[in-house]
Structure 1
């Protein structure tokens, strides 16, 4: 009798803690973020049959609009299925862009970089409200190269914005003075121009082919659907 009770209890516990094969085999692809050799961040299934690259600028209004309008649907309808991956690559347009990109690369993990970049897009209007005017820009042109991004971040409040969003002040200071970090961002842009003839933002590359006249979610989604296996 006692042995039977023990067996019944063991079976009950095993059932309570079991995971069905379907549950075990369904990863949360939106939480899978990895750095790529090309300098971007890949969100989703690295073996997805449909591979989308977005080139974007943190100071680009159309990019911020796409982030607000298209990213939720892209994540929920496509990346979550494991059939589509998104690689975000920065296409820097100006010194503010470079400064923001350097701050994003101060983060500890690729997932944190993506999250901070998305926050930058969400706060874009507020950040750019403090962009340099003509006289400030002229003064910045005289700033030594090694100090440019530190001064720009201070004047625009980007350094305090970064610390308010989780970066340590010492880390911010180090990253803004790291010209190799800046050069890496410049190299991503140069490679985009060379490989895909990217000229503006946002620009999308789908399975190795640049998509022309595609800057909105309404224009992009039908092309994603057509590419699905």
Structure 2
């Protein structure tokens, strides 16, 4: 009987434990998204492309520590800036942003995780259909490439409706905003991914090289 009450009491304590607070996401005046506390002492800026294999590697390798610990602790924030390289990249950016501030970072991670499959499919689709699709208006081109690569199905599986997707590709102002983020990149951004910590450009490299620099700056 004592064991029963001890276990029951433990269950009540476990059930009463408060859920962790969600990490804040904000949108800047230029249209970029920032994950983490606005008061974070370490401000990481990433310039990345969805069709960049090194960016996909960074997303996967950094996930547990960067987002799971450093950003979750409040010590670090991450601002993602698009560095658009091609139409498939732009199509992926439209879809990631279509999920809104709360969905942007998880959807970006999902796009990077599935990159080998959709990128190969998208390149093949583009090679076969480019002459025809290039006659379309730009929003219709991007939607066609997203459909052909399987990107549209990827975000639909995450709960985005067909109507919402159509509306996002029809939003030419948002597409222009994505391209403007790329155009505003400083000259130090000559490859992807590129990183800045508290305004200082980092040497080119992946998560293995960046993690020590973040910890030196105060990430924990």
TM interval, shorter chain, is 0.7 to 0.9
Aligned pairs, number: 203
In structure 1, stretches of 5+ residues that fail to align are 1-15
Which of 147, 151, 165 is residue 140 of structure 2 equivalent to?
147
SS at match of 1:132: helix
Q: State which structure, 1 or 2, has the greater radius of gyration over its C-alpha atoms.
A: 1
Write the distance in 2 (CA, Å) between the matches of 1:86 and 1:146: 29
1:226 is aligned to 2:209:
no
Question: Aligned ranges for residues 1-229 of structure 1 at < 5 Å?
Answer: 28=21, 31-107=23-99, 109-133=100-124, 134-192=127-185, 195=186, 197-213=188-204, 215-228=205-218
TM-score (norm 2): 0.83
**1:5 aligned partner:** none
In structure 2, stretches of 5+ residues that fail to align are 1-12
SS at match of 1:31: coil
| Structure 1 residue 42, shift from structure 2 partner | 1.3
Write the distance in 2 (CA, Å) between the matches of 1:146 and 1:120: 20
Write the distance in 1 (CA, Å) between the matches of 2:105 and 2:68: 16
Contact 1:49 1:84 in 2 (8 A): yes
| Structure 1 residue 209, shift from structure 2 partner | 1.3
Contact 2:23 2:72 in 1 (8 A): no
| Structure 1 residue 137, shift from structure 2 partner | 2.7
Write the distance in 2 (CA, Å) between the matches of 1:141 and 1:163: 25
Q: Which runs of 4+ in 1 moved over 6 A?
A: none
Write the distance in 2 (CA, Å) between the matches of 1:165 and 1:84: 27
Write the distance in 1 (CA, Å) between the matches of 2:70 and 2:23: 13
Structure 1 residues 143 and 84 mapped into 2: Cα distance closer, same or farther (>3 Å)?
Answer: same
Write the distance in 2 (CA, Å) between the matches of 1:159 and 1:138: 21
